[in-house]
Chain A
Amino acid sequence: MFYLEFLRVRRVFVWYAAILVAVVLIFLYGTFAANHADIQSQVTTNGTTTTEHLHGLHSIGDMTIPIGPVLAVCGVFALIFGSFFASSFNRTSQHAHFTFVRPVSRSRMALEVASVDVAAILGALLFAAALALVTMSIVAVVIGHDVRFDWGHEWLATGLLALGCALMWYALLQAVSAWTAERRGSGYIFGIAIGVLASAQGLAHATFLGPVFVDIFKAILFIDPLAYFSSVTVDQHGGATIDSYFAMPIGMRALIVWVLAAVAIVLASIEWKRVEI
């Protein structure tokens, strides 16, 4: 089922790549169009008016690109990308009269499908990161300034956290959709999951709901990937900090999301093996 899943994922990846490239092109156009425009300002001092000509390209300073935060943001892109085929077990079951009558055991089928999906999510993260870095470098080079990559001391842990969050989200959606082979069975699960993803952090702080609901949403945050990197702060020196709802080191957060991803995908595979048509 490698090939079938590859075809499915490739279709999603083409759209993903096209959208990101389009966003980058719009960004580049906006950046250069704005910065090429001469800015004239007239200043009147003591009755004398002087006109200053400012060229937009000179309005940007040296560029430091913090790798960690770039990877964190790209992890969110990879998470969104993975969401589009995170019900692949369910979708494969919908064609069970074709897929389940191949000389491949369901365990191996699950492994093949998940392998392709995981590789695709990694590819999506790397593609987004490469595109972001290249785009920022182009901007800096065209403007005429040096580019400096700030690897920081946590870029690897951040990258692992970003990938882990995307994989955890993918695996959780697999786990909640694998057990059913009904047509469009995964659609409503996906919808609910996106709703939870978007609102859980806010609802966890909504005290007006009462302590029980707040506690429930706080518990849900453990499976909310966005709760593991809530915000990215870049200081004036180019240094970046990735904050989280959970007060624990980034390495520990990365470990937790990877463990949750592994547990969820194993659970999904077990459920999928038992699917009846």
Chain B
Amino acid sequence: MNTIEIDHLSKRYGAQRAVDDLSLTVPEGSVCGLLGPNGAGKSTTFKCLLGLARPTSGTIRIGGAPLSAATFETLAYVPERSALMDWLTVADHFAVVKRTNARFDEKRAAELAATFKLDAQKKLGRLSKGQQTAVALALAFSIRPTVLVLDEPASGLDPIFQRVVLDLIVDAAAGGATILFSSHQIGQVERAVDRVAILAGGKLVLAGNVDDLKGSEKVVEAIFASDAPALYEFANDARVRRVAQNGRIVRVYARTDPAGIAKALEAYAPKTVDIVDLGLEDIFLGAVGDAPYAASIGVA
């Protein structure tokens, strides 16, 4: 069953299309990373998903039903920027959530406050950006949500707490929660997600299971003693999806026959040639197009 279903979602602001015909499903219990460069439409997608913005067209269903106030009984959201009240204390925020959400778990909230080392009596305005994010995360997880929408959840956190956030996400997913989150830190995403959706210019350019995407290609990486030569022979090679060059390093993204491509590269006398697995970063850059590299050798 798909917990989140986005069907042909479009959102326009005047003439600008922030989201353009986006269709995406997130199955129950999965962790989906929503990736994209700045301005790709991730935050607008979240706003439409949560009813903070009205879609120009398209439909959104959560748990099989259109969005309603009842949806938020089990859905928690952490926005990219703090939306909390500077003049309220951490304890006040917990009290507000407790009074509005029947699923609020006081014991869990206390655990989370301790984990993030939050001072309950401090006003939000006196906390750092990272601590404010920690409060938002603690509030979100304190209702033991079954659906989590996290927009840059580790933003402003130090590496220790970033690790805590990842653990919380993995723990929630293990408990059956469905999670959709965005982050620019692809390494973090890679460790947590089982599915990925990549947006560019408001459009969905790639979506799928991370393992399937990683297994779809290999990267043949060659390092040269001086600047890498232009590898025109790969421009029209059906085995090659893309070639990226950065100084002395050349990466050839091979659809098939990586060993054959490695052999062909050895003809250019590189220092080393290796065949490596595709990483999420490679998938991301491939999907959104790392134009500077590809353009440098005339291959896209």
Contacts and interface: CB of A to CB of B under 8 A. Distances in A.
Given A276-B53, A277-B53, A103 B100 contact: yes
A1 to B, nearest CB: 7
B267 interface: no
B100 A102 contact: yes
Contact of A104 (B51, B87, B88, B100): B100
Contacts of A11: 87
B84 A276 contact: no
A97 B93 CA distance: 13
A7 B52 contact: no
B54 interface: yes
Interface string B71-107: 1110111010101110110001001110111100000
A95 interface: yes
B263 interface: no
Contact of B96 (A4, A100, A101, A276): A4
Contacts of A103: 69-73, 100-102
B123 to A, nearest CB: 11
Contacts of A7: 88, 92, 96
B148 to A, nearest CB: 12
Contacts of B254: none
A277 B52 CA distance: 6
Interface string A82-116: 00000000000001111111111100100000000
Nearest to A11: B87
For chain B, the bracket of interface size reads 20 to 34
Given A95-B83, A96-B83, A103-B70, A3 B95 contact: yes
Contact of B99 (A3, A101, A277): A3
B88 A98 contact: no
Contacts, number: 64
A60 to B, nearest CB: 44
B50 interface: yes
A2 interface: yes
B248 interface: no
A101 B85 contact: no
A198 B192 CA distance: 59
A99 B70 CA distance: 14
A100 B100 contact: no
A2 B99 contact: yes
A7 B92 CA distance: 9
B271 interface: no
A276 to B, nearest CB: 5
B47 interface: yes
A228 to B, nearest CB: 34
A98 B70 contact: no
A175 B51 CA distance: 22
B52 A276 contact: yes
Nearest to B51: A100
Contact of B52 (A100, A102, A104): A100
Contacts of B85: 4, 95, 98
A101 B77 contact: yes
Contact of B72 (A3, A4, A102, A277): A102
Interface string A127-152: 00000000000000000000000000
B54 A276 contact: yes
Interface in A1-31: 1-4, 7, 11
Interface of A: 1-4, 7, 11, 95-105, 108, 276-277
13 contacts: A3-B96, A3-B99, A4-B96, A95-B85, A96-B83, A98-B136, A101-B50, A101-B72, A102-B72, A103-B69, A103-B71, A103-B102, A276-B53
7 A-B pairs with least C-beta separation = A97-B83, A97-B79, A103-B72, A105-B69, A277-B52, A98-B83, A102-B100
